[in-house]
Structure 1
Amino acid sequence: MRLPYVPDPPNFTSEEDKAVEQRVRQRRGEKGLIALDRTLLHAPPVADGWNSFLGSIRTKTSLPTSIRETAICRVAVLNKAWYEWESHSPILESAEVLAVLNSSPRQPLADLGEKLGAVLAYTDAMTLDVRVPDSVFEQLKTVGFSEKEIVEITATVAAYNCVSRFLVALDVGERNAQTGPKEGGKE
């Protein structure tokens, strides 16, 4: 970790900062503050916005869990954000985990199914190239994603690229030395 984690509980004196901490705790539930939260809480207004935005991406979209988590995990693999991978990969089915890990960038496994394959291709393009080829975008529509779902997929990939870059830049969870995912997802 490049910065010390904020203590748990934080030593906030401002009522506004204490309220931010409580909103983060409320979203996390029994899990309590995680390393990411304890890093973000160095800047409570940033932590507050992050909590609201990522909370919406994780819990308020219409995407099926497999679609959302496949995109998140693919971003983690592409960006070598192993802390992110370890948090999200246990949510995936084993076939999805293998597809996310074993398919070459820009060439997802065909046997994953049309929808997940389209999501992987789109995630690869957004993450590696930023500019998405028309053919990759059209594939999302061809396999039946609605306009709302395409916005949600795009927001998910964009948000988790932000998350992974934050995690790696600050070495949150001390995972930068890892060369790949830990067996079984979590430590």
Structure 2
Amino acid sequence: MRLPYVENPPTNLSSDEEAIVERVKARRGAKGLIPLDLTLLHSPKVANGWNALLGAVRTETSLTVDILEIAICRVMLVAGAWHEWNNHVPKLLAADDFTEEKLAVVKKPLLNAQGALSDRQWAALLYAEHMSRAVTVPDNIFKQLGDAGFNAKDIVELTTVVATYNMVGRFFVALDVAESNEKTPEFL
């Protein structure tokens, strides 16, 4: 970790900042504050915005679990954000009808074969890959989203998930949150 974590529980907070901590804790539930929160709380107002955005992205989209987690996992793989990769692969494997065979495609460094993924899963994976590596998404990749049944709402939500988790991955790696940069990732 490149910055020390704030104390857990945080101290010397204004009443507004204490309310922010309570909102973060409410979203986390029984887990309580995690290393990410203890880093973000160096700037409580940023932590508040982060908490609201991630809460919406994680729980308020209409994307299926497999699509959501494929996007997140691919972003984390590209970013080398191993803490988040290790947290999200089990969620992906727990999605309905998701298998190790499908995960093998998500993990491939070069996406040149759809393998066992459905057309919808493959389109989401390619979209996350291009958004994460080049930012610009080629027309043929974008077209695959529509061909796979993604509507405008789905595309906005998928784009938001990929963009948000690119932020998450970069934050984790730049500050070495949870001290995972040098660790060998699980599930690879």
Q: TM-score range by the shorter chain?
A: over 0.9
Task: Give the C-alpha shift of residue 108 in structure 1.
Answer: 5.0
Task: Give the C-alpha shift of residue 82 in structure 1.
Answer: 0.2
**TM-score (norm: length of structure 2):** 0.92
5+ unaligned residues in a row in structure 2: which ranges?
94-98
Indicate the residue corresponding to 1:116 in structure 2.
121
Task: Give the C-alpha shift of residue 170 in structure 1.
Answer: 0.1
Alignment of 1:27-176 (within 5 A): 27-93=27-93, 94-95=99-100, 96-101=102-107, 103-176=108-181
Q: Which amino acid aligns with 1:105?
A: L
1:108 and 1:67, CA in 2 relative to 1: closer, same or farther beyond 3 A? farther
CA contact (8 A) 1:82 1:181 kept: yes
Aligned length: 182
Task: Give the C-alpha shift of residue 99 in structure 1.
Answer: 2.3
Task: Give the C-alpha shift of residue 111 in structure 1.
Answer: 2.2
Indicate the residue corresponding to 1:182 in structure 2.
186
1:108 and 1:19, CA in 2 relative to 1: closer, same or farther beyond 3 A? farther
Q: Which amino acid aligns with 1:52?
A: A
Matched residues in 1 for 2:167 and 2:156: separation? 16
| Fraction of identical pairs, as percent | 48
Task: Give the C-alpha shift of residue 106 in structure 1.
Answer: 4.0
5+ unaligned residues in a row in structure 1: which ranges?
none
CA contact (8 A) 1:108 1:121 kept: no
Q: What SS is found at the alignment partner of 1:92?
A: helix
**Which 4+ residue blocks in structure 1 deviate beyond 3 angstroms?**
none
**TM-score (norm: length of structure 1):** 0.93
Q: Which amino acid aligns with 2:135?
A: V
Task: Give the C-alpha shift of residue 107 in structure 1.
Answer: 2.8
